[in-house]
Structure 1
Amino acid sequence: MRTEKSEEREPDGTARRRKWIRRVPAGVVGVAAVSLIALTVSPVNAEPDTRAKPPRDRNPLPAPPQIRDLDFLLGSYTCDYTPPPGGTAAVLKLTTKRAMGGHYLYTDATLEPGNVVGRSTFGWNPVDGKFINQYHDNWGSSGNYASSGWKDGHLIFKGPLTQVITPNATGQTSGVKLDLMDDYQVLGRGHFKNSTNFTFPDGSILHGSYDCRRQ
Structure 2
Amino acid sequence: MSLRTRVDPGPWGADHDRDAVVRLGRGPENDVRVGHQRVGGRWTVSRVHAELRWDGTRWSTLNLSTRPGLLVVYEPGWEEVPIEPGRPWVPVRHRWCYGIGRPGQRVHVVCETDDHRGPGGVGPPEATGPDGDDDGAGDDLTTDLVGPPPLSLTPLEREVVLAYYSDFALLPRPATLAPRPHDQAARRLGRSRDSTRKAIERVNRKVAAVEGAPEVAEGRNVSAEVGRWLARWGALDPR
Q: Is the pair's TM-score, using the shorter chain for normalization, greater than 0.5? A: no
Higher helix share: 2
Judging by fraction of residues, say which structure has more strand: 1
| Higher relative contact order, chain-length normalized (CA < 8 Å, sep 6+) | 2
